[in-house]
Amino acid sequence: MSTAPMTALSRPRASNRRPFDALSTRTKSARAARSRWVAARAAGDAKPKAKVAVFVSGGGSNLRALHAAMEDGRVNAEVAVVVSNIPSCGGVEWSRERGIPTLTYPPKKGEDGLTPDALVAQLRDAGVGYVLLAGYLRLIPPQLCRAYEDKMLNIHPALLPAFGGKGMHGHHVHEAVVASGVRFTGPTVHFVNEEFDKGKIVAQRHVRVAPSDTPDDVAANVLRLEHEVFSHVVSALVDGRIRFRDGDGVPVIVGEDGTEE
Ligand code: GRF
């Protein structure tokens, strides 16, 4: 990770930018958080690691990529708990082997288990500050959306707002992409609200769809990009480097050198 000096943020910017005093409170607080973070880095005084919950329903390659990025210091966080609706899925098994606590949510129909309020309470008790949906195939309860507003991200394997919404998950997405004839696709990382795939977009990556590509080819190409972009956004989120643009509230990542994307 780079150790950008504190002055990086005060570099001259495009002339049409408003002076700092005119920025919104949210912008100011994001900038202030970043300044504190840069100062802490410069002082060698590392910020404590954020605790995240990762929700999975499948093999968990995004979970593993996030975990690797945390282990090698690219993301200042640790996985405090893994949540799944499928206790036997690859992501949960991998977590158990590493001693990462796991929770089942929602319980199977007709079985006792966590209610939405109990889930939120368990996450709070575990000190979870952020929730990451990495291939979780259930709708998130409103209680969780409210508890983690602007602190919960999802990764979707297509360029939203296209190819999103109910039923658009896994191979369905890539089949629809190939059938549509679009020339580009790629993952989207977005904040989560109460509607499927409708939260504010934070970052996207794109890859070409070749005429000979099958849905499986597209899925493999997109998955590689997912692993990079998700860690990139989570790093910004836990560092406090996402600001919300004045007027429309679009999230903008502030890089370690002060650039915005
Ligand atoms: C990924 O394509 C993700 O975008 C989607 O579900 C898939 C999960 O893959 N939401 P994995 O379990 O992380 O390997």
Would residue 210 count as lying in a domain?
A: yes
Cα 174 to ligand 1 centre (Å)? 12
CA distances 9 to 62, 196, 202, 238, Å, are 31, 35, 20, 18
Would residue 11 count as lying in a domain?
A: no
User: Which residue puts its alpha carbon closest to atom 3 of ligand 1?
Assistant: 135
Residues of the chain with pLDDT under 70: 1-45
Q: What distance in Å separates the CA atoms of residue 240 and residue 236, rounded to the nearest whole number? A: 6
End-to-end CA gap in the chain: 18
Would residue 105 count as lying in a domain?
A: yes
Are 173 and 158 a contacting pair, CB within 8 Å?
Answer: yes
Full residue range of the structural domain in which residue 108 is found? 49-253
Q: Do strands 152-156 and 188-191 pair parallel, antiparallel, or not at all (unpaired)?
A: antiparallel
Could you count the other beta carbons within 10 Å of the beta carbon of residue 88?
A: 7
Cα 94 to ligand 1 centre (Å)? 15
Task: Please tell me the predicted confidence (pLDDT) of residue 251.
Answer: 98
E strand or H helix at 226: helix 215-239
Task: Please tell me the predicted confidence (pLDDT) of residue 209.
Answer: 98
Q: Give the atom of ligand 1 at the shortest distance from the alpha carbon of 65.
A: 13
What b-and-e string marks burial along 114-127, b requiring 16 or more CB atoms within 10 Å of the CB? bebeebbebbeeee
Q: What distance in Å separates the CA atoms of residue 3 and residue 103, rounded to the nearest whole number? A: 37
Are 138 and 192 a contacting pair, CB within 8 Å?
Answer: no
The pair of three-digit structure tokens given for residue 133, joined into one six-digit string: 């949906």
Would residue 64 count as lying in a domain?
A: yes
**Is position 171 annotated as part of the catalytic site?**
no
Q: Give the atom of ligand 1 at the shortest distance from the alpha carbon of 59.
A: 12
Angle between helices 171-180 and 215-239 (to 10 degrees): 120
Query: Torsion over CA of 125, 228, 230 and 71, rounded to 10 degrees?
Result: 10
Task: Please tell me the predicted confidence (pLDDT) of residue 93.
Answer: 98
Would residue 18 count as lying in a domain?
A: no
Cα 45 to ligand 1 centre (Å)? 35
Three-class secondary structure of residue 197 per DSSP: coil
Would residue 42 count as lying in a domain?
A: no
Would residue 259 count as lying in a domain?
A: no
Angle between helices 61-71 and 90-97 (to 10 degrees): 30
The pair of three-digit structure tokens given for residue 164, joined into one six-digit string: 């999103």
Task: Please tell me the predicted confidence (pLDDT) of residue 2.
Answer: 36
Number of domains observed in the structure of the chain: 1
Spot the catalytic one: 156, 174, 190, 232. Answer: 156
CATH code of the domain containing 152: 3.40.50.170
What b-and-e string marks burial along 185-207, b requiring 16 or more CB atoms within 10 Å of the CB? bbbbbbbbbeebbebbbbbbbeb
Would residue 27 count as lying in a domain?
A: no
Task: Please tell me the predicted confidence (pLDDT) of residue 139.
Answer: 87
- Chain centre distance of CA 206: 17
